[in-house]
Structure 1
Amino acid sequence: MTAAPLRSGRRVRVLCEASSTTGLGHFVRSVALARALTARGAEVEVLLRPDALPRAREAVAAAGLDLGTGDWNAVALPSDRPVDVVVDSYRVTGAWLAALHGALRAAGGRLTVVDDLADRAFTADVVVNQNLGAERLPYPGAGTVLAGPVHALLRPEFPATRAAALASAHRLPDVPRSVLVLFGGTDPSGMTGPAAHAALAAFPGATVRVIHPAETAPDPELAAHPRVELLGPRPEVHRDMLGADLVVTAGGTTLWELCCLARPAAVVAVAGNQTAVYDGMGAGGYVLPLSRAPERSVPRLAARLAELTGPGRLREVALAAATVTDGSGTTRVAEVLLA
């Protein structure tokens, strides 16, 4: 069956993770969707858990969104008009989602679930899975499934700079002169340091820019290195991506941002839930597959980086990556929800 879409003017609550243990991927994509829904007339509030990072709460305000308060279990309580809910969390069960869906439907609301794994049995009006190969995953309890990177939930600055990024991809060098190391907003795997040292060893002529989480102290050896620039959290990270000839990163939501911007990415799958995307993206030639699991041996990482690059390789991978998503997935999803 086809789910009845949300209507402009309805109240929407977006529940997403934003802690040091879950990372900020859920948060970034959920806020992107919240902004798109707000721009189309919905009244949106973002509801975070108590363990959410303070900078996530600050980012909600900076995006011009309302930060909701209260228990996630109370989101479906009857109000003066129906509430629609978007959930993006691995830490809720299928039974919890099914119960929420039932309560919302009884009150005239609808449930959208942003999912990556299809590892829970639940019911929902809409499921969004932005990963490569998601169309092959079963969601028998979903009314509508929006699958694949064509629905990747990216911030508007990415599609806005895509044309310039595509033009620059044709000018990428054979050997990177500038490498960006980026392992998400919190880097729970601890891969930032080993990856940065490996990039320095693999590309002795390159500048290495390292984005490290605000909650961790910078590596003093990296901080003292003349070819390293240490950076904190970057609200406009798309500019840093555009300035890089190669990005060393994890296999999470950052990949779709890099694909939109036609940036070659050397990827480490830092968690088990990233391996399917890692395998698919590597097999398709959309990324440089650096390691299928966290690898902290700098010599091995450096050797693999050097092996993966060569004449024309960065340009080839960048242009292939650009075919994966055009960056307009947030618009597509919002239009389905608010049609």
Structure 2
Amino acid sequence: MTKLIAFGDSIFAGWDGKENVSANQRIPELIGQQLGWQVTNVAIGGTKYDDSSNGFTAMVNKTDVTGFDYALVSYGVNNFSWPDPLAVVKQNVLNGFKALKKKNPQLKILLELPTEDFRQGSTTLFDFNQAFWNQDQLDDALIEIAKQEQLDYYDWRPNPLITYENANQTLGDGNTGVHPTIATMRAIAQRLADKFRQMAGGQSQPPIHIDPPQPDKPANKPQPPAVKTVGELRLDRLADLFGIGTNVSSGVDRTLNKINELYSQMHNLMGTDSRQVQATLSAPSNALARPLRNYVLMSFFNLERAVNELVSLCNDNWLCDPKTGAKTDLLQLVRVESLATDSHYKDAVNYNWYLIENKLNMLIGYINKILKGE
């Protein structure tokens, strides 16, 4: 049976903007169902083309790709929203593909260009990010590398499924998000499955690059945004069990700093009482012993309480879903209490980071709508 390995971020990991879909509804698995292929999906939410422990190159290095016939690679949206210089991104892309080809020279690789990302207030492919490059430039850079490395690629720009105009229907998090609905995942999978059929038949040709209408392009020098919005929370995932204490301590600090930023915004926007939260526990060493286990357990207990106090304040002040008026559900984390520090323990820690990110980023989206006057 033909085997496919898929590398990607939360879009391939099955986050639809509101919840995780079942594995058989994720894009790589849907492709496998259409083609009759066996699929291994190693996508991790929040990842990108970088040199982090879960970035593209690291995932290639830690994954056994021998025995696979095809690889599907799809990152980029997080590179745009949390950017490095474009030259750095290009080098990380190149490093990942060179590593992938070295590990399996016979592997046929399909690079999917990222679908459009609206999380930082962009409405077109030509809006600049904080590093002063745009999504159109990223797409062109990815194609340049694909041609250099003789890779097949799929470019959404000639016939996009997701646009700012239809994002409220095609994305689970709407036109301030990036994550496709289940129906859009199916449509994406259909397009990519067709591309794989072309590749399998030896008929694959790089898609024609059609330049979008010129009037939409901004001036040569990007203009600073009129309103400074709140950036989304990004938490590092636990990759090394011998770094649990460091990972949790960092996650606690980042989460509490973001909560304090949101409290400050609510004080300025709504006149709520000024509040600040701070960590009350000191991280022990990374030694796999009971003090570390208790620190992790209590840290997540305290984070759950801190997040839910913010959620309750938002609900009390009707800071909620602007489309439905629905209040935000309280956060419920997984209890990380096992004494066996194995892969299940690591998965539980990372799932909690995932839940915290998405709950706070939902609130950030509501606040940013107010800041932008929407």
Identify, as 1 or 2, the structure richer in strand. 1
By relative contact order (CA 8 Å, sep 6+), the higher-ranking structure is: 1
The normalised TM-score by structure 2 is 0.27
> How high is the TM-score relative to the length of structure 1?
0.29
Q: Choose 1 or 2 for highest CA Rg.
A: 2
